[in-house]
Structure 1
Amino acid sequence: MPLALAAFGRRALLVTGGRSFLVSPHWQRLQQGLDRQGIEWEQLGIAGEPGPEQVDRAVARFADASIEMVVGIGGGSALDAAKAIAALLPTGRSVLDHLEGVGPQLPYEGPALPFIAVPTTAGTGSEMTRNAVLTRPGSDGFKKSFRDERLLARLALVDPQLLHSCPPRVMLGNALDALTQLLESYVATRASAFTDALAESGLRAFAAGFRADPQRPVGDYSCLAYASMLSGICLAQAGLGSVHGMASPLGAWFPIPHGLACGTLLAEATRVNVQALRERNPESPALAKYARVAGWLGDDGCSDADALVTLLSEWTGRCNLPRLASFGMVEADIERVAAASGGSSMKTNPVVLTLDEIATVLHRRL
């Protein structure tokens, strides 16, 4: 990696996760490699999901540090923070100026510093997307994107060896996020032959690499790294669906990790989608796609949309995925969360869901 970074300059900001990478042997090897290449560096740790204030503080802190590149090393949180910091260091603006649905929503004019993505988990696909997701937690909080083509990574270094330091519970949540992104983009209204081919390849790789076991969720790290990378490409091109629509307010208002939010909702959201499609649009190609996914993910060769729902429900149980109530959500919150689930992800769901249908998913997982 240090040799590849040398092409971008001699002053790097390394944005890492909270701890896992820093206590792994990879961290010491990286420092030694940077020294050999004559690259000076600063390091910033991101613990938990990044917020706009955290990004703004980083921009102010390193404004005069002559940073020439920003390297994100970690999960989606570290990569998203690094993207936003790389975009704003040259301009000095607050990220709140550009967040979708927040503040003045000014157009981003750039330029951005080179952003290099080094994922150490397999789930978000952030190394392949053009948006940085930022969260302000709390009852009046939000989870919103800073989005622009110039936020794309100049270089993505996807090394399955880096995934071995990821704790099993984190790996499980990230894997379920990748699965959700692949499935939702495959059936999304903006799906194309291009994204369909990539999503199929990613879903088959996921099936080969995933174990529905919370203690050992990975059978093949290379397969999951590949599936995650493709999920990022697919979501950027085709969009997502109802699970991510609901996960946005849930992640802002309750302390639920994004991957686990996706995982715990996926089976019931798929069930409601299938039922709504059969009732209102039985000729939808999404129904045939759900059936094909069942054949790719299952080991019984059954290709049927109901079989997919059954398989996802079985995985939900075998993985001991938490219910929403375990994060403080109560019955009275359902209406508010359902009403706030109509963001950009919901717009590409294969069927327009009613508020009652969204509430049904939430209630079943409460």
Structure 2
Amino acid sequence: MDNSAFTLLRQPNVIFGPGKVRLLPDLIAGYGRNVLVVTGVSTLEQSGVLGKLFEQLHSRSLQYGHLTVSREPHPELVDRAVSRYRESGIDVVVAIGGGSVIDAGKSVSAMLLKSDSIERYIEGLDGCIQHDGRKVPFIALPTTSGTGSEATNNAVISKVGVDGYKRSLRHPEFVPEIALVDPELMLGAPAGLTAASGMDAGTQLIEAFVSPGSCRFTDVVAWSGLEHFNRSFLRACTDGAGDIEVRSAMAYAALMSGIALANAGLGIVHGFASSVGGYCDIAHGVLCATLLASATKENILQLRQTGDNPEALTKYAAIGRLFSGCENLSQDGACDALVDTLLSWQEQLDFPRLSSYGLRSSDLESIASRTRSKNNAVELHRDQYMSILRARL
């Protein structure tokens, strides 16, 4: 595959490092006097970060509204928020939280200048139209090392149920103006959330690296992220949870995953994020965590059987050598080592099975029929989809 030609989305102005959250009030003031702050329900408030921010905004005579997000954003949440704040003269939207919070803030910033529902612009829905990209400026501050949404041009919107969906509001202009990444904000994240969000970042790095849409730029970005992920993921979930260097490495890995995926695309695990995630109420990071090993195993099997995309096998092998620490493995041995490593993380960190979220064998056919992934390393079909899902039921 010739990956010498490529185009790139614009990237946010990235401000990265411990303690950088102190810059936020001045960054907000650079856009105007009226800010909408989007957060989760309680963590920032309990840590004192939110109260301190509001005090700083008040001391600068800045006006602010506050929107809380308790789950992955759904159309009604965005439409209600936009209806409430559309006439408030919001100059900038700031989202401080995990991927769901950032996606909610990104969606609100995109819809404040519109008079209709967000569902009109969500890709793949009947009758959808392309958003024109006009929005209120947006600043993203992640508090988990997961989605990389601080660097992407889309916001994921979910509606859960038999006819549900998980799809994107997308436009090149939706890349945040500023990504302020402060690893200190991630120090309090619990182990379960750290593991799930971390596996989201790891999945994105792997899928972008082996994607047919990858290029020299995304390969370098994804590999750099994989190196940081490899040395920090397990420690962040265990004895290194309070180590700022570990959290910094994971924050960097997540940021790189966002840049890589925005430009290279993602594979089958994120295809399931749409079909499974629309069918049952499972957190995106948990879905990535529980499906990555079985999906990677199936991809490698199909690549070996078909002979398609040999570069992807070479890349899987490179990741296998990195994760296993065994540089002298053959290609087959390294690919097997990658699957073994992913399976060991799955067992060590006790990732939940799909059945614990109510999925049954009888649901798999319907889910497989809705699953698509245009940037997977190898073309998969219904039988392969069913195999991946059954392995984690």
Interval containing the TM-score (normalised by the shorter chain)? over 0.9
**Conserved 8 A contact 1:143-1:252:** yes
Give the Å deviation of 1:196. Answer: 0.3
**Conserved 8 A contact 1:17-1:47:** yes
Cα distance in 1 for residues equivalent to 2:235 and 2:286: 13
What letter is aligned with 2:119?
L
User: 1:117 aligned to 2:140?
Assistant: yes
Gap regions ≥5 residues in structure 2? 1-23
What letter is aligned with 2:91?
E
Give the Å deviation of 1:20. Answer: 1.2
- 1:156-193 Cα shifts (integer Å, max 9, x gaps): 10000000132221111100000000000000010001
Give the Å deviation of 1:215. Answer: 5.3
Please show how residues 26-45 of structure 1 align to structure 2 within 5 Å: 26-45=49-68
User: 1:272 aligned to 2:272?
Assistant: no
Distance 1:243 1:170, change over 3 A: same
User: 1:176 aligned to 2:199?
Assistant: yes
- 1:24-50 Cα shifts (integer Å, max 9, x gaps): 121122112212332210000000111
Please show how residues 82-121 of structure 1 align to structure 2 within 5 Å: 82-121=105-144
Cα distance in 2 for residues equivalent to 1:274 and 1:315: 18
Report the equivalent of 1:354.
Answer: 381
Does 91-100 or 27-36 show the bigger shift?
27-36
**Conserved 8 A contact 1:123-1:178:** yes
User: 1:10 aligned to 2:30?
Assistant: no
User: 1:258 aligned to 2:284?
Assistant: yes
Q: TM-score, normalised by structure 1?
A: 0.96
Cα distance in 2 for residues equivalent to 1:279 and 1:174: 32
**Conserved 8 A contact 2:75-2:158:** yes
Give the Å deviation of 1:81. Answer: 0.8
Report the equivalent of 1:298.
Answer: 324
Give the Å deviation of 1:18. Answer: 2.0
SS state of the match for residue 116, structure 1?
Answer: strand
What letter is aligned with 1:102?
L
**Conserved 8 A contact 2:152-2:175:** yes
**Conserved 8 A contact 1:272-1:357:** yes
Distance 1:306 1:68, change over 3 A: same
**Conserved 8 A contact 2:148-2:254:** yes
Report the equivalent of 2:266.
Answer: 240
Please show how residues 147-226 of structure 1 align to structure 2 within 5 Å: 147-211=170-234, 218=241, 220-226=246-252
Cα distance in 2 for residues equivalent to 1:33 and 1:133: 31
- 1:296-337 Cα shifts (integer Å, max 9, x gaps): 222344641111011101111001001111110011111111
Give the Å deviation of 1:63. Answer: 1.4
Does 20-29 or 224-233 show the bigger shift?
20-29
**Conserved 8 A contact 1:118-1:158:** yes
Distance 1:360 1:203, change over 3 A: same
Report the equivalent of 1:331.
Answer: 361
Cα distance in 2 for residues equivalent to 1:109 and 1:265: 35
**Conserved 8 A contact 2:165-2:278:** yes
**Conserved 8 A contact 1:168-1:216:** no
- 1:184-239 Cα shifts (integer Å, max 9, x gaps): 00000100010000000000000121117855574600000000001001000000
Report the equivalent of 1:311.
Answer: 341
Gap regions ≥5 residues in structure 1? none
Does 106-115 or 38-47 show the bigger shift?
106-115
Distance 1:302 1:73, change over 3 A: farther
Percent identity of the aligned residues?
39
Distance 1:176 1:302, change over 3 A: farther
**Conserved 8 A contact 1:96-1:103:** no
Between Structure 1 and Structure 2, how many residues are aligned?
A: 363
Report the equivalent of 2:392.
Answer: 365
**Conserved 8 A contact 1:168-1:217:** no
Cα distance in 1 for residues equivalent to 2:220 and 2:226: 10
Distance 1:83 1:307, change over 3 A: same
Distance 1:150 1:282, change over 3 A: closer
Give the Å deviation of 1:65. Answer: 1.2
Cα distance in 1 for residues equivalent to 2:379 and 2:279: 24
**Conserved 8 A contact 2:309-2:378:** no
**Conserved 8 A contact 1:274-1:287:** yes
Distance 1:315 1:300, change over 3 A: same
- The root-mean-square deviation of aligned C-alpha atoms, in Å, is 1.5
Cα distance in 2 for residues equivalent to 1:260 and 1:359: 19
Q: TM-score, normalised by structure 2?
A: 0.89
Cα distance in 1 for residues equivalent to 2:392 and 2:226: 24
User: 1:60 aligned to 2:60?
Assistant: no
